[in-house]
Structure formats: C-alpha cells, structure tokens
Structure 1
Amino acid sequence: MKTVELTIMVAYLLFLVILGLITQQRIAKSNTSIDDYYVAGRNIGTGVNSLAMLAALGSGGSFMAGVGTIWSLGFPFLAWMTVGSIVGFSIASILVAKPLRNSRKFTVSEFINDRYGGTFFKVAIPLVIIIGSAMYLMSQMRAGGLIASYVTGFSYEWGLVIITLVFIFYVSLGGMLAVTWTNILQGFMMIFLILSIVIAGIYHLPVGWPSFLMEATVANPALGVVGATVPVAAYIGAFITWATAVCVTPHLVMRIFTAQNARSAKLSLNISMLIFGLLMLGATLVVVPYVATLEAAALQNYAPDMWLLLIANEFFGPIFMGIITAGIMAAVMSSTDALLLAVSSAFAYDLYKGFFSPEASHKQVLRASVIFTWVVGIAVMLLTLNPPPFLIVLYTAAVGFMVSALFSPLVLGIWWKRSTRKGAVWSLLVGGVSFMILFLGFSMPYNSEILIALPLSLVTMFIISSLGKQPSQEVIRKMDEYHREGTITL
C-alpha cells in the first residue's frame, strides 16, 4: 500500500463528496432545481466552461492510457485520433454550438425530438445514449480501478468497486452543478499533471531529446511506422470518429447547454481544443520514449494503461506522486461524472418524463435520475470487472456508435431544411444498427466500423428525405430562430 499517495487521493475524493452534498442542498432550495441539476442553471462563463470541457474530454484514456497505447499501437494511431479531436471542437463550434445553446433544451434527445417530432426519438435516442455511454463508462471505470489498485495494493476488482461507488455517490447528489464545480478543479489538475510530468521528463532526459526519441524507435521499431501495428483504416476511422464526436457526444454537448450564451459556447469549445492539443502534444513527444527505460518485469506486471504512473514514479517522491495520482484520477472522474449524468438524463428526462410520464414533477424526474445513476453505474461496474484491452480503443468505439446513429439526424436537421422525420428515423436506425453489426459480428481494424456506418447513415438521410414531403413552415421557422444571433441569452 502506498500510504502517502492513498492519503492524498482519499482527501481529494472526500472533498468531491462534500461538494456533492453542498450542491444537493443548493438544488433542493432552488426554484430552478432541474435547470441546476441538468444544465447548471445555464449560466457557466467561458473560462469555467473551457476548463469543464477540457476535463470532460481529457479522460482516463487520453491522459492516463495514452502513453501505453502509443507504445503498443504507434505514434500515428494516436496522432490521427488527437488531431481528429482538435478538429472536432472546431467543427462543433461551427455546426452545433449556436443552435443547441439557443434552443434552451436540456439534452440532444430533446433537441432532435423538437426538430422532427413523434415518439420514436423519445425512445430511440435515449437508448443509443445509454448503450454508447455505458461502453464509454467501462473504459473510465477500468482506469479508476487501476489507479485505486495501484495506491491501495488491493486487487483491481476491489479498487474498481471502491472508486465506482465514490463516482456514483457524488454525481447522484449534485448533478451537473456538482459536475461543473468539480470539473473546474479537475481541469486545473489535469493541466498541472501533464505539465509537471512533461517538465520532469525534459529535466531527466538522459541524452538530448532527438537522440532519446531515436533510441525509443530502436527499442520499438513499430513506434513511428504508419500501418505497422494497425491498418491505415484504423487511423482514418479514429480521426473521423473524433472529428464528428463533439457534435453529438452527450457529455460534451451538455457543456454547450450550460453556457451563458451561444458566443460563450463557441469560445469555450475552441479554448478547450487549444489546451487539449498542446497537452497531448507534450505528453506524446516527451513522455512516451521513457517506456523504453522501464524494466521488462514492470511492463509485464502492469497493464499498458498504467505505464504513465510507472514513468511518473521514476521522477517524483511519494507526496508529489500522491498529487499526480489525484490528478490522473481527476482526468478519469471528469469524464465519468459527465457520462453518468448524460446516461441518467437520457433515462430520467428523455425516456421517463419525455415518453412514459410527461406529467412527472421536477422532484420525480430528479429522483428517477438519481436511481438510474446508481443502477447503470453498478451495472457498468460489473461489466468492467473483465474489460477489453486498450481504454482508448474501447471508448472510441463507443463514440463511433453514437456518431453513426446521431450525427446525421442532428447536424443535417440543423443545416438542411429538407431533412424529414422519416429520413432521420431511418438514418438513425441504419447508422446505429450497421455499426453494432460490424463491431460485434466482424473482425475489422480498430475503430474502422464508422467508415461504413456513418456514410450509410448520411446517404439514407439524403435519399429518404429527398423523396419525402418537405417539413412544415413551422419547423423551418423554428430552426431559423435557433440560428439567429442573440436569439436566447441569459
């Protein structure tokens, strides 16, 4: 057991639980409790939201597992994925930020249903979000379990159980308000974490950096070779997945709904994109070559997703390692809490209130949200007891599924007035179902399923909408309102 590291991490987790209790009291006393719970009152400033978006994207996969994934799958794979993420923020700021924020909706499901109408989307979209977010959650809970195991000395299974219960507890208490407050701290901690490790890595370089990088490629000849570890199709699939992900991934889109106005939402997306890109660049170029300096026994005894901790342990003493461990846990929690909230809102607000019980009160919706947070959290925890390898590959597949199903109905629904409800229904079905068939039924390169599923979804939308009846003038007028500057602000 690493006593100092464990003490610091426990103190950090207790702080989050206390914060959840405080926000629960505030929500209980508020006249706009459902706004506070799901969209943090729609009053989050640009700087705060930028940090929160960075925290939501900067998950256990990108910051913790990135080093091991690059060493195993090569620089080109993560390069395409990271560039896709950076491009994705810019695309989202152009395509969806203003319409979504101006709509004053709570969720992606509510927005799409407002665009097309009918009962199909009230059921289908929450199911897509619940399935996709649950897959994403598996990767984050695995990362949390690995960290808890590292500092406690317990088995991975017990580490997973302990950390999952903490995650669920504080999210179920305070909702998006608690998530936003903690994401501010988590965003700062992630920046501090990566900068500290990068600076320490530069300070401890045994030789000049170019020579050190060359030595790493000698130790692992496939490290920088395109197509050496996975086919090029996997690179392209990872790029397209993340270039389109920010537009539809619920736990990222929810940050748009929390912004003060549309302009603030756009700025937050671009600022967080810039910070994320710089952090990933530094971590990739400076830290990854240190894997070659680790002992073979350590590499065999620890999963690749843990190698960043092993490298950091070479640089820092117990106290600073406690802070580093808490920082990595912050990266894991920042995505986990947002994902848990996205799943609970999909069930309680979109499915329960939107379909089964439209007359449900705010209290009933919040109660359903809390209950489902616990149900889905524990269910995903049980699945994560035996997870697949490589966190990044797993959560990219989860995002690819959601993009394949939701990108066409959402983005074309915003920008193409000819989009019809029937086209959107079939687009969602074709995209989502084809992705899952390819993912589960065929042995394809990592993350390449989207190269087939997303085009099928887009083509389906164009063909069926073109053959159908044009949407009513009321729908067109409503969408025009969402595009206007300053339509709805606070």
Structure 2
Amino acid sequence: MKTLQLSIVLIYLVFCVLLGLWTQRKIANSKAGIDDYYAAGRNIGTGINSLALLAALGSGGSFMAGAGTIWNLGFPFLAWMTVGAIAGFSVAAILVAKPLRNSNTLTVSQFLNERYGGNKFIKLAVPLVIIFGSGMYLMSQMKAGGLITSYVTGFSYTWGLIIVTIIFILYVSLGGMLAVTWTNVLQGGLMILLISAIVIAALMNLPTGLGSFLVQATEANPILGVAGGTVPIAGYIGAFVTWAAAVCVTPHLVMRIFTSKDEKSARLSLNISMLIYGILMLVSALIIVPFIATLGADTLKNNASDMWMLLVAEKFFGPLMMGIIAAGIMAAVMSSTDALLLAVSSAVAYDLYKGVLKPEATQKQVLRVSFVVTWIIGIVVMLFSINPPPFLIVLYTAAVGFMVASFFNPLVLGIWWKKANAAGAVAGLSVGAISFLIAFFAFEMPYNTEILIALPLSFISMFTVSSITASTSKIQVEKMSSYHSN
C-alpha cells in the first residue's frame, strides 16, 4: 500500500463528498431546485465553465490512458481523435451553443422534445440512447478509477473499482450539477497542473535531445509513427468524425452549455477549453510517450497499458508528488464520470419519469428518483466494468459514436433546417442508432469506423423522410427562430 499517495487521494475524495453534502443542502433550500440540480442555476461564468468543460472532456482515457494507447496504436490514431475533439469545440460553438442556451431547456431530450412537438417516440428513444451510450462511456471511466484506486491501495482492481464507484455515486447523487460543476473546476485545475508537472519533469530528465529521443522511441516501437500501422486510415477518419461531432450532442458536454450564464459565455467557454485541451494533449503525447520505452519489457507486460503514464511519472517523482499526481488523475476520471452519471440520471428521472410516465411529478419526486437512479445505474455499470475490454479510449469513443449517430442529425438539422420534422427525426435517430449497433456488434470492423456508415445513413433517412412528409408546424419554426435571435 502506498500510504502517502493513498492519504492524499483520500483527502481529495472526502472533499468531493463534503461538497456534495453542502450543495445538496443548498438545493434543498432553493426555489429553483430542478435548475440548480441539473443546470447549476444557469449562472456559471466563462472561466469556471471553461475549466469544467475541460474536465468533462479530459477524462481518464485522455490524460491517463493516452500514453499507453499511443504506444499500442500509434501517434496517428490519437492525433486524428484529438484534432477531431479540438475541432468539435468550434463546431459546437458555431452550430448549437446559442440555440441550446437560449432554449432554457435542461437536457438534450427536453430540447428535442420541444423541437419536434413532444413526439412520443422521441420522448422515449432519446433517453434510452443516452442511458445505453453513457453507460458504455461510464465503463471506461470506472475502469480507470478502479486502476488508480488499486495503484494507491494495493487492493485488487475489483476492490478498487467498488470503492471508487461508491464515492463517485455518493457525491453526484447528493449534489447534482452544482456539485459536479465545483468539483470539475478543481479537477480541471488539477489536470492542468498534473500534465504540466509531468511534462516539465520529463523535459528535465531527457537522456538526449527531444528529437533524438523521439527517434529512439520509434526505433524501439516501429509502429509508433506509422500511419495505418495498427489501425486502417478509415479508423483515423472515424475517430476524427466522432469527436468533431461529439461536443454538439454528447449529454455530459451539452449540459455544460445549459449551465452557462448566456450564449456568449457558452461559446467562449467552448473555445477556451479547446485551446487548453489541445495544448495539454499535444505536449503530453510528444514528451511523455517516448519514456515508455525506458520502462522495460517486463513492466509493460505486467501492467495494464492504461497505467503506463503513472509508471513513467514514478521515474521522476517521490511519494508526495506521486500522491498529488494520483489525485490529479483521479480528478480526470471523476470529471467525466460525475457528469455522465448526472446525464444518465437526468435521462431517467427528468426525461422518462417526469416527461413520459408522470408529467405531474413534483420537484421533490423528480430529485428523489434521480438520487435512486444514480445509485442503480452506477452499480450496474460497475458490475459490467469488472471485466472491461482493453483500451479505454477506443471503448468510450465507440460510446460517443453511438450517441453521435443517433442525435447529430436530429439536433443540428432541427436547429438549422426549417423543414426538419418529427417523422424525419424519428427516421434519422432510428437508422443512425440501429445501423451503428449492427456495424459494431455484427461485423468485425476497424476501430471507430462504424460512424462512417451510421452518420451518413442517418442524414439520408432524416432528409428524405422530412422532405416527403408534412412540414414542421409554424409554431415550432417560430420557436427555433427565437432561439437564434435572442
């Protein structure tokens, strides 16, 4: 057991739980309880939201598992995915930030329900897609949390997973988006400090010039810089497309737009996050990854690749700093996990329970259901995470791809195309979701290429059906226009 590292991580986790208790009391005494729980009162400033957005995207997969993924799948794979994510912030700022923030809705489901006139299929299907897609995404984050907990406690991965899952669920179920926002601010700051510290230490410990060190790494691992060496070029394109569209529709990222104090702040937050995320990913890839070759074949063989960045950091730092780094990586994991848990609970409690099953449900009833659902979903995902697939990044990119295939066309066309109607949205969502699942489960396709089939099919279906069926109502068109002009 790494006593000092464990103590630092425990202090951080206890702080998160106490913050959840504090925000729960604040929400209980607030007249705007639902808005506070799911949208943090819609009053989060640009700086805070920028850090929270960075934390929501910069997950355990990005900052913890990135180095090992690059070593196994090559620089080009992660480069295409990262550039896609960077582009995605700008795409979201242009296409969806203003109308989503001006809509005064709380969730992706609620926005789509209003856009398509309360269509029953949309009401039911959208939350189900969010539950399934976010559940897949959660598996990757819980795996990362289990690995970190195992690292600092010396317990098995399974026990580490159980411990960290309970803590994740506890503070999210208590405090909702308000707790998530404030912890995300801390988590975003910790991630910046964490990557900066490791990169500076790596530069100070370079055995030779950086250029020569990179060449040595490619000699030790010839596939490192070869395009198409491990994943076909189509897989790179699929990863780029997935993340370029993800910020527009992925619920735990979109929810940050709803929390912004206004649409200008939402747009600015997206672009600031884009800049910081891009810099952190670039420097960590170029400077940290070459040190993996120095770990030795036995170390690499006996440790999961998602843990290799921690092992590199151990070469530079003692127990105190490693405790802080472990807490920082835990923060990266928690930053996505908490937002995803909240997205799933809102899909069940707010969109399904209040939106479909019991429209007359009170605020207290909705929050109670959300509390229970957070625990149920968290425990179910934890059980699936006991034997997860390899490569965190590939797993959660597939989860995001499923949601992009389902939601991108109904959401974006619904905002910008007046002829988009409920029948078209139903067709686009259904064809996108089903074709992605068929491609993913029924065929052995290269990583992330399913989106290249599902997204175009979704667009064709929605465009065709909307074109040949009745136009959307004048009321819906006027409502969308008001979101653009406010």
Q: CA–CA distance in 2 between the matches of 1:183 and 1:479?
A: 31
Could you tell me which amino acid in structure 2 is paired with residue 372 of structure 1?
Answer: V
Distance 1:474 1:272 in 2: 35
Matching residue of 1:350: 351
List alignment gaps of at least 5 residues for structure 2.
none
Q: Which runs of 4+ in 1 moved over 6 A?
A: none
1:39-94 alpha-carbon deviations (Å, 9 max, x no partner) = 00000000000000000000000000000000000000000000000000000000
Residue 447 (structure 1) aligns with = 448
Aligned-residue offset at 1:362:
0.2
Partner of 1:26: 26
User: Which string of whole-angstrom CA distances, capped at 9 and with x for unpartnered residues, describes residues 309-349 of structure 1?
Assistant: 00001010000000000000000000000000000000000
Deviation at 1:119, TM superposition (A): 1.2
1:391 equivalent in alignment to 2:387: no
Which AA in structure 1 matches 2:43? Answer: N
Following the alignment from structure 1 to structure 2, what is the Cα–Cα distance between the partners of residues 148 and 479? 47
Cα distance in structure 2, aligned partners of 1:239 and 1:272: 18
Per-residue deviation at 1:448? 0.4
SS in 2 for 1:125: helix
Residue in structure 2 matched with residue 11 of structure 1 by the alignment: 11
Name the residue aligned to 1:327.
Answer: 328
What is the TM-score when the length of structure 1 is the normalising length?
0.99
Q: What is the letter of the counterpart of residue 290 of structure 2? A: P
Q: Which runs of 5+ in 1 are unaligned?
A: none
CA distance in 2, matches of 1:193, 1:224: 26
User: Corresponding residue for 1:39?
Assistant: 39
Structure 2: distance between partners of 1:297 and 1:224? 23
Q: Work out the CA distance in 2 between the residues paired with 1:375 and 1:291.
A: 39
Counterparts of 1:324 and 1:469, CA distance in 2? 57
Partner of 2:477: 476
Secondary structure of the corresponding residue to residue 230 of structure 2? coil
Question: For residue 77 of structure 1, what is the aligned residue in structure 2?
Answer: 77
Partner of 1:175: 176
1:406 equivalent in structure 2: 407
AA partner of residue 413 (structure 1):
G
Aligned-pair identity (%): 69
1:218 matched to 2:219? The reply is yes
Structure 1 position 120 matched with structure 2 position 129: no
Paired residues in the alignment total: 485
Note the C-alpha offset of 1:96.
Answer: 0.2
Question: What residue identity is the alignment partner of 1:138?
Answer: M
SS of the residue corresponding to residue 223 of structure 1 reads helix
Q: Give the Cα–Cα distance (whole angstroms) in 1 for the partners of residues 477 and 350 of structure 2.
A: 26
Q: Which residue in 2 is equivalent to 1:106?
A: 106
2:2 aligned partner: 2
For residues 10-409 of structure 1, the aligned pairs below 5 Å read 10-117=10-117, 118-409=119-410
CA distance in 2, matches of 1:471, 1:18: 48
How much has 1:471 moved relative to structure 2?
1.2
The one-letter amino acid of 1:365's match is V
Q: Deviations over 1:250-301 (max 9, x none)?
A: 0000000000000000000000000000000010000000000002111111
Any idea what SS the aligned residue of 1:469 has? coil
Aligned to 1:458: 459
Letter in 2 for 1:293: T
Letter matched to residue 84 of structure 2: G
1:15 counterpart SS class: helix
Aligned letter for 1:35?
Answer: D
- What is the identity, as a one-letter code, of the residue corresponding to 2:58? G
Query: d(CA) in 2 for partners of 1:428 and 1:396?
Result: 19
Distance 2:111 2:483 in 1: 11
Structure 2: how far apart are the matches of 1:408 and 1:213?
41
1:470, distance to aligned residue in structure 2 (A): 1.2
- Give how far 1:128 is off: 0.2
Q: Distance in 1 between matches of 2:449 and 2:70?
A: 18
Deviation at 1:469, TM superposition (A): 1.2
Deviation at 1:472, TM superposition (A): 1.6
Measure, in 1, the Cα distance between the counterparts of 2:473 and 2:185.
Answer: 43
Q: Give the distance between the partners of 2:33 and 2:473, measured in 1 at CA.
A: 34
Relative to the length of structure 2, the TM-score reads 0.99
Q: Which amino acid aligns with 1:376?
A: I
CA distance in 2, matches of 1:131, 1:286: 36
1:16 maps to a residue whose letter is C
Deviations 1:16-47 (A, max 9, x none): 00000000110111111111100000000000
